[in-house]
Amino acid sequence: MIATRSEEYFLGILKELLKLPKEAEWVELKHNNDNPEEIGEYISALSNSAALMGKASAFMVWGMEDETRNIVGTTFKPSTAKKNGTELESWLLFRLNPKIDFVFKELSIEGKPMVVLEMDAATQHPVQFQKTKFIRVGSYKKKLDEFPEKERALWRIFDRVTFEKEIAMEGIGSGDVVRFLDHRAYFDLLSFPVPNDLKGILEAFENERMIVRDSGDKWRITNLGASLFAKQLDAFSHLKRKAVRVIQYDGNSRIKTLREQDGNLGYACGFADLCRSVSEMLPTNEIIKQALRKQVPVFPELAIRELIANAIIHQDFYMTGTSPMIEIFSNRMEITNPGVPLVQTMRFLDNPPKSRNEALASFMRRLGICEERGSGIDKVVFQTELYQLPAPFFEATDEFTRVTLFAHKDLKDMDWENRVRACYLHACLKYVNKDVMTNTTLRERFGIDPKNRAIASRIISDTIKDGLIRPQDKGSGRKYVKYIPFWA
């Protein structure tokens, strides 16, 4: 994948390309050809071929002869090039599907202008340009539909390669591994001593599949390693938009922003700082205990920690231009991640989670960042009950999953929907803990005085009418009725 590349990086790339025995299927050399349609077709072909060849990136180079590899210079200037009045990069990006990341770099070598175009390899789907898929066959650009065996091979690759196994950066030296990845955080979080030499550090990362060997003495950093332990996520361009965003608003709407923070550390090495930053933005309530005044967060920190971890783990990394987001209002907190859940929101509490990113989830479980079993939603619901807060709200849209935590609200101020949701989740929590809900347990959950048991009865009745709970035994007397979720 493409990093925030320096000029030195591209000069190094050119040196490596000069060593190739011939034009590879993931490299194209040009002199002055600046036809936008042809460039777009090559982006499709080279990106698809790079995926087929197991490469993280593909390249086009202007100013170098194909046969001799002599540097001849070019008149092509992508920074000023336009198509129909639109900047070339924007014109190309709009016509690519899916929209992969690519970058032009203008260089000067031996006093001659050159251009390097680097693009991501295809993932999940073959890249199309203007609704047509291309592929390289030898040194020729062809339509992918004309080579069904290559398309089948591509789909086999997409099916078996998970996001975590894909390559975030390739062709880097041993010293660069620890320049991009925070090895000290890795050993500290696992309570392991830091090895005395670089070899021991590389072996540890390799055993975790955070890096894999490249040609020669070079290494590749996987998405697993980059997403967890990047010293700077924006060093990996496809991950820089995956940093968790934290936004604090003034009041209950998005009209005025007080603070906004985009993280830049890997999820594992930056998790503690992220939780600390969120905690500092949370609204607080003042309580008096033993004659001392104390400010306490409106929302339970354990619940927040679990929900942040869930948003990171269950996000859809292939959704571009979006990332997990935490929004803090004076009366609620919303935690959103890209991707629809693989489990129905009504069943978050009882179903084991299905994760798109199991390697990422497994490692974060090892660090104790998230639950070893289950999704941690039972902890979230328990904490909201302990704090006697309104029930959390789980929702899914066509593209996102969102959890909302609400600040304290008296029962009399809760609407019907909130009361019913709280009753249902209370029944779920009791059931997964091998217990059952009763009028008494619901009164304790809401803090209802025993003499007002009729209030709890009305809430239970409404929740039954909504089809969310049912009596465990229809033959029991009204006084001793036990209730279970509809799915139990």
Q: How many residues does the chain have?
A: 488
- Smallest CA-to-CA distance from 336 within 400, 382, 272 is with 400
The answer to whether residues 211 and 222 touch, using CB atoms and an 8 Å cutoff, is yes
Report the sign of the C-alpha dihedral through residues 219, 222, 227, 229, in that order. Answer: negative
Q: Which of 482, 373, 349 is nearest to 428 (CA)?
A: 349
Q: Give the integer Cα–Cα distance in Å for 167 and 171.
A: 11
Domains and CATH numbers, the chain: 7-161 (3.30.950), 169-235 (no CATH), 241-407 (3.30.565.60), 410-488 (1.10.10)
Alpha-carbon span 270 to 263, nearest angstrom: 8
Enter the tokens of residue 463: 């929740």
- Phi, psi dihedral angles at 404 (to 5 degrees): -115, 125
Q: Are 316 and 339 in contact (CB under 8 A)?
A: yes
pLDDT of residue 479: 65
State the amino acid at position 89 in one-letter form. E
DSSP structure class, residue 199: H
pLDDT at residue 362, rounded to an integer: 87
* Both tokens assigned to 224: 């697993």
Rounded to 5 degrees, what angle do the CA atoms 483, 485, 486 make? Answer: 115
- At residue 295, the pLDDT reads 60
Is the C-alpha dihedral spanning 444, 446, 447, 448 positive or negative? negative
**Cβ contact 34:81 at 8 Å:** yes
Name every residue whose Cβ is closer than 8 Å to that of residue 374 and which is 6 or more positions away in sequence: 352, 353
Which mean pLDDT values do the consecutive 10-residue runs of the chain (488 residues) have? 63 76 80 91 95 86 81 91 92 92 88 91 90 91 93 84 86 93 96 94 94 87 96 88 94 94 93 93 65 67 92 88 93 94 86 79 86 72 92 92 94 94 96 93 94 94 95 72 92
Of 147, 208, 153, give the one whose Cα is nearest residue 177: 208
Q: Are strands 57-62 and 27-30 parallel, antiparallel or unpaired?
A: parallel
Please give the Cα distance from 244 to 238 (Å, whole number).
Answer: 14
Is the Cβ–Cβ distance between 1 and 7 less than 8 Å?
Answer: no
Phi-psi region of 63 (alpha: psi -120 to 50; beta: other; left: phi over 0): left
Give me 325's structure tokens.
Answer: 């987001």
- Name 480's Cβ contacts closer than 8 Å, sequence gap at least 6: 438
* The pLDDT value given to residue 3: 45
**Spatial separation of the C-alpha atoms in residues 415 and 451, rounded to whole Å:** 22
- Structure tokens that stand for 474 in this block: 């229809």
Question: What gap in Å lies between CA 26 and CA 48, rounded to an integer?
Answer: 8
Q: Directed axis angle between helix 301-313 and helix 267-281, to 10°?
A: 140
Q: Find out whether 210 and 222 touch, Cβ atoms under 8 Å.
A: yes
- Residues forming a β-bridge with 169: 221
* Tokens 């999940």, located at residue: 124
Find out whether 376 and 309 touch, Cβ atoms under 8 Å: yes
What is the per-residue DSSP string for 405-450? EE----GGGS-HHHHHHHHHHHHHHHHHTT--B-HHHHHHHHT--G
Left (φ > 0), alpha (ψ -120 to 50) or beta: where does 328 sit?
beta
From the list 458, 457, 482, 455, the residue with the least C-alpha distance to 470 is 482
pLDDT at 1: 45
What is the number of other CB atoms lying within 10 angstroms of the CB of residue 60? Answer: 20
Question: What is the distance between the alpha carbons of residues 71 and 477, in angstroms, rounded to a whole number?
Answer: 91
